[in-house]
Amino acid sequence: MNNLLWFSEIGKDDLEICGEKAVSLAELYNIGIPIPQGFVITSNAYQKFLQENNINKQIQNILSNLNLDDLKLLQKKAEEIQEIILKAEIPEDLKQEIYESYENLNVDNEVLKSGNKNALSLIKMGRSLPYVAVRSSKISEGDFPTFLSVKGNNSLSLSIKKCWASLFTSSLIHKREKNNIEYDKILISIIIQRMIDSESSGIIFTINPLTHNENELMIESTYGLSELIIANNVNSNVYIIDKQNNEIKSKKTPKQDYMVIREETLNKNLKRQVPENMKEQVLDEQQILQLVDYSKKIEQFYNKAVDIEYAIESGKMNILQVKPLRAIKMFYSKKENV
């Protein structure tokens, strides 16, 4: 039974232990899309954690004779279960496996594949532990938290346990009890993925959201993190590309006054003025065409329109997230003149 799996090791057969989001990321990784390195703590690891800490029996006792109409009592029982999970220790062998994999996220994938332990040790000695995103990969229904900019073994362990504890909110307990779903059938897996320190970033729509033209693709780009684009609060670059011949049909490159960066010493995102020496056009033509190539491959793989979040770090492209474009909303009114 696998407690941990790297993206390169995950296939569709692992859906039950890895969840939809992890399998989706792994599929993209394995067809050559540049996904940031990551691994999954499977539902097997979660079950091991529960069993070795005898948490199943404690949960059973807490949830016995539950009155769903008593919301205060329900909340109290939820908090009690969550506290038990947060205070419990991750089994030592599992913890060491997680820590070793976490440390390896700072190592180039080719070195990991080589199995050269001496080279691996030398590289690790010269590098600090990386910042990671810790997010659930849904196996059961529910909205689960994501923890960003997590660094260090203790912070990682706590974030993992918070993800596990999120299975036992009062609302989720109420829903399961009402539908006679046994709590021990509810499972969760967790994605641990290296965070990208973005020089520039943005969003790609594989259908032009301004015109709904399926033969056009739109890229929005900004210096720093894409946080300002998502909030529709930045004069981002906008590029419209013909998907059939890769022609850049139009581009809008206003001067960007501000950007959001991750401040490592404070471990938080900060708004900063864009340096004067930065060019107005965030992406060069080669980068635009590279993003177009990845976007078309991703759209073809899923056989549907998608929006894609990307980031560039040290000149390297990274695809961070892919979501189906179920409905294109005309929320780009400020860019109507592109």
Instruction: Kindly report, residue by residue over 4-21, the tens digit of the pLDDT.
Output: 999 999 999 999 999 988
CA distance linking residue 223 with residue 317, whole number of Å: 14
Of residues 21, 25, 26, the one with CA closest to residue 11: 26
Instruction: Name all contacts of 153-157 with Cβ < 8 Å and 24+ positions apart.
Output: 153/99, 153/102, 153/129, 156/98, 156/99, 156/102, 156/132, 156/192, 157/90, 157/95, 157/98
Low-confidence ranges of the chain (pLDDT < 50): 111, 114, 119, 122-123, 330-338
Of residues 111, 112, 90, 91, the one with CA closest to residue 101: 112
Please give the structure tokens belonging to residue 323: 């979501």
pLDDT at 262: 75
In Å, the largest CA–CA distance within the chain is: 67
SS3 243: coil
Is 148:196 a contact under the CB 8 Å cutoff? no
pLDDT at 116: 52
pLDDT at 1: 80
pLDDT at 337: 44
